[in-house]
Structure 1
């Protein structure tokens, strides 16, 4: 039989061993990724995340300032309209100011009524029953704004009338705080005052800049107001030279009345909010202006210039369409923004006017105009960037059973929060004890 040998486990008698034989490396057909590739991918991902975050912040900023952006956009179209007015006034036979107002408001009325009939908006002519009085009020205030401007231009220089006109945003902020009980912070007040200072630097009124270069009215941009600042400027120079102090004082008072009228129009639009379609405001405003303008042309025996050239017709249509677009954007913006903040964006018109003056008429702005423009832009950006996300007015919301309450030109589901604020107001004159603005 085979013998079995037992296995004896023993402890090694040494502590040093030879080195292990290295194994042969395995051949791999898949390349090993480099470390720089991983680093590049992570860096690209971080850059993309930063871009997404910044885009999100910009989107949130735009969403919080929709009304302000709409009002600023309206000033762009108003300035374009004024470029057309200046071009039209340079023709051999210039069109009278009253005729331009009539044409512009007639085009606005036709476009508004046609759109509302086509879209089957209820009550396209008179508006919803609950706000008809305020629609008429909006038309009256709007006409006072135009009348105050044109009357003052008969006795005041272009620059003086410009500065008085741009008092309306401050009046709007005060009216919104008093009658609509909207919040108007000291930051917004400071921005409004700074913007007015910028307007003064651009307009350089004679009572502040009595001598020196740049005080002539030709330095004023073509689009500083409603349509006729330039068109009537040349015809009023002689009157400005010989106007009596009493007439100038009266003109200043009427100009202030016009600024109050413009502020009343802005405040009334804000008070109506979305209880009426945005175009209902324009129908009331344009209809009243057309009626009063026709009566004024008959009483004053103002001749009606019939266009004899195609460029006349095209410019008249351009003025009407640009003015209509600007009014729509202005109304939509004031429906969605507090009156004080929204009115600050009106100062943007003089910025666009300065730019268009350079582009279309090759007029270089003075250093003071550049400084004033920078002040206005900085103030507008400051107001936009310092708005609180949950900025609400101290008013109670109103509701209406009329189906046209929520009609508007923008999608309503994007503005649920604004709807609670846009209709929020205390009736200006629904009862004898309520406060109401001056008529």
Structure 2
């Protein structure tokens, strides 16, 4: 028979367990033993259990707080990333727009230069108009001679300062073309000024702006350049815009203008129309020759030949017709002459640079923008209010110029 000690050791009811609540919870007899354990009361047990539950609740609250803090931190990081993403998208969008703008300017550099030249031509013409209102009046040949003398001096000084080779004769191989450009260009310049003496401004403007279309045709015939149907359409629309702005009496009647007295007889007017048409041919020849020269000569080489021949031919013309040379007697008279020379120099420089970089047809289309600038200067300096037809004509010209610029690279070179 087993001893009591052995029986006690093998019997679960009397086995000794550690006084650890966590260790006795798993036993089916834990409650009985814990309640009968010496020194352990039910109230202390409840306190321990309550304390454990409180600790567990506090731990759960701490975990919830940590989780909420983590969520808030993630939300803050997401907001920062979203803000950075928006800034990045904005910068990329602005970069794309800027890149497209640069590409557009690069693709239409020649067209923009020609358009800028028309701004300075308009400023020059405004100065000429103001000069004609000052006594004593100045002849057309003297205006050309003085203006081109200032242009010649500016060209030579700039070429010598920048050490451009062959400043007087130009590069070999294109000297004949340079001389022809200068000679034929004089007829274009003289035709404009002479026609203004006997024709109204509107009639002379319409005749002058036949040159862009003639230049496009000449470039196609003599240079084999591309002149698309779209460019021809834009040229016709621009010419319509010029007519709406100029409103020649032959098309719109006397009511389209204020009463205007023209100098000379009907014969003088007929001669002026003929001279204006010769001026159109001269401008056409000058623009086409500049395009033929291209970049084989500096733009200032062309201007040196042009200004030199203009001074020589105008001086000979004044001597042959015995026209007196009027010397400035007033400060504003002299200032206007200087401004005419400077504006003419900048205008010719930009025009030559533009036509060197652009086809004759497209480049000549930008010449129509001169009418827009002239309308603005008439409003600002001479307080002439544009009519509704003038506004429509301006919109047509600008729309055509923008259309030609935007469609340059969209079509193949065969003109289709």
2:273 corresponds to which of 252, 264, 268: 252
1:340 maps to 2:365: no
Query: Residues 216 and 368 of structure 1: is their aligned pair in 2 closer, same or farther, counting only changes over 3 Å?
Result: farther
1:354 is aligned to: 375
Q: Is the 8 A contact 2:124 2:340 kept in 1?
A: yes
Structure 1 Cα separation of the partners of residues 385 and 197 of structure 2? 27
Structure 1 Cα separation of the partners of residues 293 and 79 of structure 2? 62
2:102 is aligned to: 59
Task: Give the Å deviation of 1:158.
Answer: 2.6
CA radius of gyration, larger in: 2
Q: TM-score, normalised by structure 1?
A: 0.76
1:385 maps to 2:406: yes
1:368 corresponds to which of 372, 384, 389: 389
1:285 maps to 2:310: no
1:264 maps to 2:285: yes
SS in 2 for 1:212: helix
Superposition pairs for residues 29-428 of structure 1, below 5 Å? 31-34=73-76, 35-214=78-257, 237-239=262-264, 242-244=265-267, 248-388=269-409
Structure 2 Cα separation of the partners of residues 211 and 135 of structure 1? 44
Task: Give the Å deviation of 1:215.
Answer: 6.0
For structure 1, which segment, 250-259 or 148-157, has the greater mean C-alpha deviation from structure 2 after superposition? 148-157
Structure 2 Cα separation of the partners of residues 215 and 203 of structure 1? 13
Q: Is the 8 A contact 1:175 1:267 kept in 2?
A: yes
Structure 2 Cα separation of the partners of residues 169 and 70 of structure 1? 15
Structure 2 Cα separation of the partners of residues 285 and 59 of structure 1? 33
What value does the CA root-mean-square deviation take over the aligned residues? 2.6
Structure 2 Cα separation of the partners of residues 254 and 318 of structure 1? 27
Task: Encode CA deviations 1:266-306: one digit per residue, 9 max, x unaligned.
Answer: 01001001111111101111111101111111122212121
Query: Residues 132 and 390 of structure 1: is their aligned pair in 2 closer, same or farther, counting only changes over 3 Å?
Result: farther
Q: TM-score, normalised by structure 2?
A: 0.80
Unmatched runs of 5 consecutive residues or more in structure 2: 1-8, 13-52
Task: Give the Å deviation of 1:99.
Answer: 1.6
Task: Give the Å deviation of 1:211.
Answer: 2.8
Task: Encode CA deviations 1:157-177: one digit per residue, 9 max, x unaligned.
Answer: 332221111000000000111
The count of aligned residue pairs is 358
2:29 is aligned to: none
Unmatched runs of 5 consecutive residues or more in structure 1: 6-18, 218-233, 395-439
Q: Is the 8 A contact 1:206 1:215 kept in 2?
A: no
